[in-house]
Amino acid sequence: MGSGGLALLLALALATCVSPAGRKCELSGLWRNNQESLMEISAVRDDGGFQGKYLTRVSLAGGCIRVSPLKGAQHDLGEVAWPTFGFTVRWERFSNATAVFVGQCFVDAGGKETLATTWLLREAVGSLEEDWKATRVGRNVFTRKRSHRGKTLQSWSPSCEDGLAPAL
Amino acid sequence: MGSGGLALLLALALATCVSPAGRKCELSGLWRNNQESLMEISAVRDDGGFQGKYLTRVSLAGGCIRVSPLKGAQHDLGEVAWPTFGFTVRWERFSNATAVFVGQCFVDAGGKETLATTWLLREAVGSLEEDWKATRVGRNVFTRKRSHRGKTLQSWSPSCEDGLAPAL
Amino acid sequence: MGSGGLALLLALALATCVSPAGRKCELSGLWRNNQESLMEISAVRDDGGFQGKYLTRVSLAGGCIRVSPLKGAQHDLGEVAWPTFGFTVRWERFSNATAVFVGQCFVDAGGKETLATTWLLREAVGSLEEDWKATRVGRNVFTRKRSHRGKTLQSWSPSCEDGLAPAL
Amino acid sequence: MGSGGLALLLALALATCVSPAGRKCELSGLWRNNQESLMEISAVRDDGGFQGKYLTRVSLAGGCIRVSPLKGAQHDLGEVAWPTFGFTVRWERFSNATAVFVGQCFVDAGGKETLATTWLLREAVGSLEEDWKATRVGRNVFTRKRSHRGKTLQSWSPSCEDGLAPAL
């Protein structure tokens, strides 16, 4: 093997094993939280941007829940094993609220991946005077959900008519 | 005035006066908060997505601050005068942190626009055991900054060498 | 003046001027926030404990608002000019919610006192599954309200029959 | 059995089974969270007030951790099975920070008690300009810790000299 091959191997080793504490964490894939909500994240682009879908199982007012689009960004590509990230979920049609999540991806010694996140859920209010009560805070911990034969989040999505329920 | 002109007038009236409580709020443009941080938001796309730049004036550890990219989404295009929105800021190079903002745009009777936002700032920590201390919370109120002759955020940006300061 | 008098003067000087940045901040007294809510805090005891009353002007569901008792603790007596503090407000009778505030007292060069606080407002929910939506977050900035001739918070209190409105 | 005995039985039944969803939750006793921090809460007084001690296992900067006093209030005595509550922890000597917790007590069908809480941790900063970065947010879930032969929190307390570490 020439020196070029060796350099390539070293580069690969660095890319896949950059943390003394464990394996590099990959955001892309299917995730489930302790409320049984599901989240699917696309491949992360070179500029850190990613897209995805969020299917909540909980809602502020009940009613029909839909898969909602999410958009976000991951910090530090390649350099850090466990990067921080953030994303926005736009609850389509069934709520006037917007949620943002911020978190970090961890991998334990056994290879188990965890997304530890904190979120803010903002409802629309009618005036600046009501702004004080518009924001809820919470915490969500996601673990990777193994997907059978390429089953994706859309498969779990309920079918329903347009509703009006605000939701997380 | 022909019927075309009348239709135009009606369209303008709808675009500028869709809320009983006031004028429709536009996210795009240049904004300043009470900490003198600046934020520039692009035109909002049809799917609610937008991009922009954030120039913070405050930092967790001092040092060189850079203009950082932001990406987000606005709720309800066209239907609601004062939509909720959320975005992620990826602090480039000078910090390992990520911030998310969620808020709502308001316009008062005098036409003054306000973005009332709450944010979470997440630092990278070394393990899941340290996760408890990683997240700060705060509030930012932005008002529109009038820009002279197309001056943009980049014009206010400091020039500096690569630094290491974590920052909001 | 004997040495006892001198020691007393020195002690007084230390007590009133312990910070290079300004005057020592006293929690006790009458405070008003930007929502026109009022708060009255008793003298702080030697162990840091204090009591008081809170009269909110805003509520989650409207209805009759009552003066509610607060209890808390201030950090570091005597040593620090601008101590951190925290307190709990128990909304009596008109809400099932509890609020906690945490903050710090500041005095600017002109002697203006500010309590910068962040709060959590927790509503009762029917089960652990609904816990995710129970907590709101916000920020309150209080400034000292000059009281005329010993007028106290009770004087501003509305008189009303028992209501059921949850409130901040 | 006389009518007095029957009344007593009914009273006991009411006291232990006031919620359709489960048993009444009692705040007093010894609790442990998922970070192995311990908390001991006294009997709740008639006005809802309680006191206690908090022994954290985690700290912002390492160093010696001490048992710290807590003071708080529980909502709705007697009427509600699962009341909301809040309390303030004053980190004695080893930190300039103050923490507040707000939460609700739940009992599941099997009788397992859970305190679901959200907290704010406030550090002292040197000026109002630095106030933005002073507040962390997080979540703690406590379960009751069975105590053997009256062993109390003080028994687990470390012995150490005065330190300076800020801590949760």
Tell me which chain C residues have a C-beta less than 8 angstroms from the C-beta of B137: 118, 137
Q: What is the ipTM of this complex?
A: 0.79
Tell me which chain D residues have a C-beta less than 8 angstroms from the C-beta of A137: 118, 137
Q: Which of D135, D136, D140, D143 to mutate to test the interface with C (most CBs of C within 10 A)?
A: D135
pLDDT tens digits, one per residue of D103-159: 999 999 888 999 999 999 999 999 998 999 999 999 999 999 976 555 566 555 554
pLDDT tens digits, one per residue of A61-113: 555 667 899 999 998 756 677 899 999 999 876 678 999 999 999 999 899 99
Q: Mean pLDDT throughout D43-60?
A: 85
pLDDT of C124 over the 60 cut: yes
Alpha carbon distance D21, D19 (integer Å) = 5
Which residues does residue C142 pair with via DSSP β-bridges, in sequence order?
A: C33, C115
Q: In the structure encoding, which two tokens stand for residue C62, read together? A: 């409207």
Q: What is the model's pLDDT at position D58?
A: 62
Q: Mean pLDDT throughout A142-160?
A: 65
pLDDT of C122 over the 70 cut: yes
Q: What is the DSSP string of chain C?
A: --HHHHHHHHHHHHHH--BTTBPPP---EEEEETT--EEEE-PPPTTSEEEEEEE-S-BSS-S----EEEEEEES-TTT-SS-EEEEEEE-TTT-S-EEEEEEEEEE-TT--EEEEEEEEEE---SSGGGGGGSEEEEEEEEEEPP-GGG--HHHHPPP-------B-
pLDDT of D14 over the 70 cut: no
Q: Is A168 on the interface with B (CB under 8 A)?
A: no
Tell me which chain C residues have a C-beta less than 8 angstroms from the C-beta of D85: 88, 98
Alpha carbon distance B83, B24 (integer Å) = 9
Question: Nearest-CA distance from D118 to chain A in Å?
Answer: 8
Residue of B nearest to A119 (CA): B120
Question: Measured in Å, how far apart are chain B's first and last C-alpha atoms?
Answer: 53
Residue of D nearest to B119 (CA): D132
pTM: 0.82
Q: What is the model's pLDDT at position D66?
A: 74
CA max distance for chain B: 71
Of the partner residues D121, D132, D136, the one whose CB lies closest to the CB of residue B168:
D132
Q: Which of C123, C130, C135, C141 to mutate to test the interface with D (most CBs of D within 10 A)?
A: C135
| A163 confidence band (pLDDT: 50, 70, 90) | very low
Which residues does residue D160 pair with via DSSP β-bridges, in sequence order?
A: none
Rounded percentage of chain C residues whose pLDDT exceeds 70: 65
Cβ partners under 8 Å of residue C146, min gap 6: none
Do A137 and D138 lie within an 8 Å CB cutoff? no
Q: Is C141 on the interface with A (CB under 8 A)?
A: no
